[in-house]
Amino acid sequence: MSLKLTNNVLALEGEFTKLSVTEAEAEFHKLLKDRSHPKITMIDLSGIKLIDSAGVSFLDGVHESVGEKSDILLFKGANPEIQSLIDTFTTIKLKKVAPKRDMGFFEKMGDGALGFYHAMVEALTLASEIFYYSAVGLFNRKGQRRGSTIQQAALLGSQALPIVALLSFIIGFILSLQSGVQLKSFGAGVFLADLLAITMVREMGPLITSIIVAGRSGSAIASEIATMQVTEELDALRMMALHPIRFVVVPKFHAITVVMPILVMFSILVAELGGALVATVMLDTSMEVFVARTLDIISLKDVIISFGKSIWFAWVIVIIGSYYGFQVRGGAEGVGKATTAAVVSSIFAVILFDAVFSLLYL
């Protein structure tokens, strides 16, 4: 391997492979530093006997180094076999991709607004399909597994009872404890039953239960559908003429619609038990008085609002979990991201809708 510079012609001779490229690069850079040599305008490849991809990469480097300084740079003299290898491995002819320009502030705002618009359209389309097939599924079970609704009710409902009971009791106990101290100082401890009943029935019962279900069952819905999407099980259902929403989502939708009011009622009862414990021990209020005032203060409207909110929250959890499950891309990492996003979005939506309901039904 050797490099010879005569007039304006750089002649390459010998073998240019991975074994000799390092030496060739050192000799080439030495020629470039020698300012006594004339400017290179042509590279003679007729003396090359053997070349591989490393040698072609060396030629590309020569082109980049010399081409900027020469108005015209020609490669000549390579035999057909050498020229074929050069054409196969060279990167000179590849189009250079311009680096992506960073978007400006207003461009980012517009892009975000457009992405939000498309996401809302897809979410509303999915919600409409879920409501449609759920309504149809009440009268026509075609396309659903037998017993799937009962199975989902057990998974989404009965298995959530222990955590709902524990947190509801603690919340009822803490609310009663903090409120009872203040009411006792005014001699109004008997009103603890009124305060706890209204708080739990209208607000805390549906809200806390929905947050627990969103974190527990919403994540399960999103991860199940996302996994089916990644493993192409949803495509397999379509190949078998089974609609994924009707087969996978509708049983969950029916099940959670039934079990969520039951969970809310259970949460309210357990929270009242925690409040009754505080009232009887700290405020010297009898259990009969506590129960009587609780039943007197709660109206049928409060119960309807509580159950109505719980059903709406249940629908929101299923729709959001299904949306992120169907939108997943990638492998296991995508499933994890979809599950996390579903839980965060579900909890945010539940709290937001609860605030809206509170303003509407004051």
Nearest C-alpha neighbor of 317 from the set 222, 251, 246, 226:
222
- Are 358 and 203 within 8 A, CB to CB? yes
Structure confidence at residue 311 (pLDDT)? 93
Q: What is the pTM of this model?
A: 0.71
Structure confidence at residue 362 (pLDDT)? 58
Structure confidence at residue 346 (pLDDT)? 92
Q: How many Å apart are CA 273 and CA 271, to the nearest integer?
A: 5
Neighbours of 208 (CB within 10 A): 21
Least confident of 90-94, 327-331, 335-339: 90-94
Nearest C-alpha neighbor of 308 from the set 155, 201, 170:
201
pLDDT at 155 over 90: no
Q: How many Å apart are CA 138 and CA 257, to the nearest integer?
A: 13
Q: Give residue for tokens 């992120």.
A: 324
pLDDT (tens digit per residue) in 157-176: 777 888 888 998 999 899 88
Q: CA quadruple 117, 131, 323, 327: dihedral positive or negative?
A: negative
Neighbours of 54 (CB within 10 A): 16
Neighbours of 328 (CB within 10 A): 24
Q: How many Å apart are CA 55 and CA 77, to the nearest integer?
A: 16
- Are 57 and 21 within 8 A, CB to CB? yes
pLDDT at 106 over 90: no
- Are 350 and 215 within 8 A, CB to CB? no
Please report which confidence band the pLDDT of residue 36 belongs to, taking 50, 70 and 90 as the band edges. Answer: low
pLDDT (tens digit per residue) in 202-235: 888 899 999 999 988 888 899 889 988 888 888 8
- Are 349 and 153 within 8 A, CB to CB? no
Both structure tokens of 151: 């199975």
Per domain, the residue ranges of the chain are 2-89, 113-360
**Mean pLDDT on 111-117:** 91
Backbone angles phi, psi at 33, to 5 degrees: -75, -20
Backbone angles phi, psi at 24, to 5 degrees: -65, -40
Structure confidence at residue 68 (pLDDT)? 59
Please report which confidence band the pLDDT of residue 38 belongs to, taking 50, 70 and 90 as the band edges. Answer: low
Least confident of 121-125, 219-223, 329-333: 329-333
Q: How many Å apart are CA 140 and CA 126, to the nearest integer?
A: 20
Please report which confidence band the pLDDT of residue 264 belongs to, taking 50, 70 and 90 as the band edges. Answer: very high
The fold for domain 2-89 equals Transcription Regulator spoIIAA (3.30.750)
Q: In whole numbers, what is the pLDDT of the chain averaged over residues?
A: 85
Q: What percent of the chain has pLDDT over 70?
A: 96
Radius of gyration of the chain (CA): 36
Structure confidence at residue 270 (pLDDT)? 92
Please report which confidence band the pLDDT of residue 125 belongs to, taking 50, 70 and 90 as the band edges. Answer: very high
pLDDT at 316 over 90: yes
For 355, half-sphere exposure in the C-beta direction (CA atoms, 13 angstrom radius) is 5
pLDDT (tens digit per residue) in 57-89: 888 888 777 765 555 566 777 788 888 888 888
Q: Which own/partner contact pairs does 293-302 have at CB distance under 8 Å and 24+ positions apart?
A: 293/190, 293/191, 293/193, 293/194, 293/197, 294/193, 294/194, 294/196, 294/197, 297/193, 297/194, 297/197, 297/198, 298/197, 298/198, 298/201, 302/198, 302/201, 302/202
